[in-house]
Structure 1
Amino acid sequence: MIADNTIVGNVATRNGGGIICHSGSAIVRGNIISGNVGGSSGGGIHYYLSSGSIEGNLIADNSGGPLGGGIVCSSSSPPIGGNTIVGNMADDGGGICWYNSTGTVTNSIVWGNNASTGPQISGPCTVTYSDVQDGWPGVGNIDADPLFATGPQGDYYLSQTIAGQPEQSPCVDGGDPDSAVPEGTTRTDEVCDVWPPDMGYHYYPCTAGPTPLLWVCVTPDTTQVVRGEDLWFSIDVVNVTDSTLTFDGWVDAYLLNGNPYARNPALGPVEITLGGNGGLYGVRRHVRVPMGAPFGEPYRLCCRTGAHPDSIWVEDCFEFAIVWPPAE
């Protein structure tokens, strides 16, 4: 196993600037692999006739020459999961190159890599629950700016409103809900990730967050709304403790550029009291979309609980589009 290392600034005249696994088996887990050069292939990692796995690594700014800026798997199919693969470059497969191989990629962010062929991923593979620039078919995949944020240990945390950023990364909670939550954090306040897992690399160590007091779920009637009309949604709020809780509930809106709506809160705040293990279910609310709102997506609406405006306890958000009215 190759685990928990910082592998930076190495140069190989041939293969595997950071790591090479040749005719063997290796689990590569929890490493920062950055700024390495593989003259022939595999700037960050090179697997050849090998097995193992590539799990939970930050693979950034490596150069792979002809093949695989971040990773090249040649006649090898190690599963690739929970990695952030960003800013790498090669002629073929800037992020990942499958050469005479086919494999799987899960719970990963593959973004901002560069190659003339397959800038993000080159070669046949199955990709699920991952953020791949310019898109890739597969269950749970997205193609959206991951909104990286700089934090105490590096530059590849995920922007999260609960940690103080103005925007919410689409990779938050975007991992496979049936997969284990990595031991680590994507939050700049270093609070550990909880289910459902976030996509990408997790920094370690992390700090356990406070035990949730509430559970919140918001379900929109639609994710497309016409200017001047109402956007309706249903809210469930449950007190998951045995004690009575009094708290504020409110709704904040966010614009196309991620900035908060100038008139936030869009609804509330209202004071709510729930007895132990009590809940409010199917509460119907709506916001009116201004006539002057620009068309497009994604807008975002967040239903929040806590002590307004100082503290958010638990929130749930959804994205929506403002569209033209249907043709008559």
Structure 2
Amino acid sequence: NTASPTIRNCNIELNIGNGGGGGMHFRDGSQSLIENCLIQNNSTTHYHGAGVVIFASAPVFKNCTIRNNIATGNGGGIAVWDGSDLYVNSCVFDGNQPDNIKKIAGSPQLLAEYSLALGDSNKGWFGTGCVDAAPIFATGPSGDACLSQIASGQGVDSPGLNEGDPSFYMHGTTRTDEMPDMGISDMGYHYPLSGLYVSNLVAGQTAQVVVADATPSNTVYFVWSFVGGGPVNTPFGTGYVSPPFKVVPLSTDSNGNVGLFQSVPPHVAGVNIWFHGADLGSQSMLNPLAMTIQ
């Protein structure tokens, strides 16, 4: 009841609550952090709060997608009782029945920022950076909660694209082509990535390098070459870059992720480049990439 866990990178779905809280239930002073979770398709047989129920607690939701939760009472997405403080940031709400967020009793304090919820702009909790629009999902190899994006082959951009809290840096992807999120983070849940990714490799622009799911709080080596794709022998296995090559050590965070922004010279369009790397903590190679600068 009073526990305050951090719940991160989880899928919470297809649960049925006999009372409230088909997906999650917080009460009696819980101050939990729920980050990058997909909370969907939960239900209640009676009562309120199919996705989440909150009693006298103060949870924080960041970069969650809360959708298609159906309550027989109110608060299909989140139901909140008196004595609670709910803070939502960079989340996406869609298809919750009969509503996304509902005060059930008393005067709980609710605030959403940089979040997406169709038809809720007239609600008191609709705060800074919120967008009143349908999210426009797309289905990719990772699942059907990706955001539609012209860059990944859809015909239209989701209104949640690049509209998350600008102070957040999210690892993972909302794209159907599984390229990492870059720049200002997208709203909602991000599917996990593993390995080495390079995006926006365009002459005269800024490319982003992401290494995801490596050894936490350790070192990875990012390596690139204009000469060729190896092979060369390394202490960690075969490297697919040819000398001379550039080696850049990077420090991973507590989740094993690290990102790097690198300017691409304006005169190198059409040039081939090879990327590889190694995870010092696991003594293993990352995935190689062979690309052409656009």
Normalized against structure 2, the TM-score is what?
0.64
Choose from 37, 51, 64 the match for 1:57. 37
8 A Cα contact 2:119 2:132, kept in partner:
yes
In structure 1, what residue type is equivalent to 2:139? T
State the secondary structure of the residue aligned to 1:208.
strand
- CA distance in structure 2 between the partners assigned to 1:59 and 1:176 by the alignment: 20
8 A Cα contact 1:162 1:312, kept in partner:
no
Choose from 50, 69, 75 the match for 1:88. 69
Give the deviation of 1:173 after TM superposition: 0.3
Bigger proportion of residues as strand? 1
Equivalent position of 1:120 in the other structure: 100
8 A Cα contact 2:179 2:199, kept in partner:
no
In structure 2, what residue type is equivalent to 1:93? G
8 A Cα contact 2:117 2:134, kept in partner:
no
Equivalent position of 2:217 in the other structure: none
Map residues 310-325 of structure 1 onto 2, 5 A cutoff: none
- CA distance in structure 2 between the partners assigned to 1:144 and 1:312 by the alignment: 36
State the secondary structure of the residue aligned to 2:144.
strand
Equivalent position of 1:103 in the other structure: 86
Choose from 136, 152, 155 the match for 1:166. 155
State the secondary structure of the residue aligned to 1:176.
coil
Give the deviation of 1:246 after TM superposition: 5.5
Higher RCO, 1 vs 2 (CA within 8 Å, ≥6 residues apart): 2
Choose from 190, 198, 206 the match for 2:178. 190
8 A Cα contact 2:205 2:266, kept in partner:
no
8 A Cα contact 1:80 1:105, kept in partner:
yes
Choose from 111, 128, 140 the match for 1:139. 128
Which segment is superposed worse, 167-176 or 96-105? 96-105
Map residues 139-288 of structure 1 onto 2, 5 A cutoff: 139-179=128-168, 181-205=169-193, 208-213=197-202, 214-215=204-205, 240-245=263-268
Give the deviation of 1:241 after TM superposition: 2.6
State the secondary structure of the residue aligned to 1:183.
coil
- CA distance in structure 1 between the partners assigned to 2:188 and 2:65 by the alignment: 5
In structure 2, what residue type is equivalent to 1:109? V
- CA distance in structure 2 between the partners assigned to 1:243 and 1:131 by the alignment: 37
- CA distance in structure 1 between the partners assigned to 2:76 and 2:49 by the alignment: 6
Deviation beyond 2 Å, 4+ runs, structure 1: 209-216, 239-243
In structure 2, what residue type is equivalent to 1:83? C
Equivalent position of 2:9 in the other structure: 30
Deviation digits for residues 256-289 of structure 1 (CA, Å, limit 9, x no counterpart): xxxxxxxxxxxxxxxxxxxxxxxxxxxxxxxxxx
- CA distance in structure 2 between the partners assigned to 1:133 and 1:69 by the alignment: 18
Kindly tell me the number of residue pairs found equivalent between the two proteins: 203
- CA distance in structure 1 between the partners assigned to 2:191 and 2:21 by the alignment: 24
In structure 2, what residue type is equivalent to 1:38? G
Mark the runs of 5 or more structure 1 residues left unpaired by the alignment. 1-21, 217-238, 248-310, 314-328
8 A Cα contact 1:174 1:199, kept in partner:
yes
Deviation digits for residues 140-175 of structure 1 (CA, Å, limit 9, x no counterpart): 111111110111121100111111111111111010
- CA distance in structure 1 between the partners assigned to 2:205 and 2:85 by the alignment: 41
Give the deviation of 1:209 after TM superposition: 2.8
- CA distance in structure 2 between the partners assigned to 1:63 and 1:210 by the alignment: 39
- CA distance in structure 2 between the partners assigned to 1:241 and 1:158 by the alignment: 27
Mark the runs of 5 or more structure 2 residues left unpaired by the alignment. 104-108, 207-261, 271-291
- CA distance in structure 2 between the partners assigned to 1:63 and 1:154 by the alignment: 21
- CA distance in structure 1 between the partners assigned to 2:21 and 2:181 by the alignment: 30
State the secondary structure of the residue aligned to 2:151.
helix
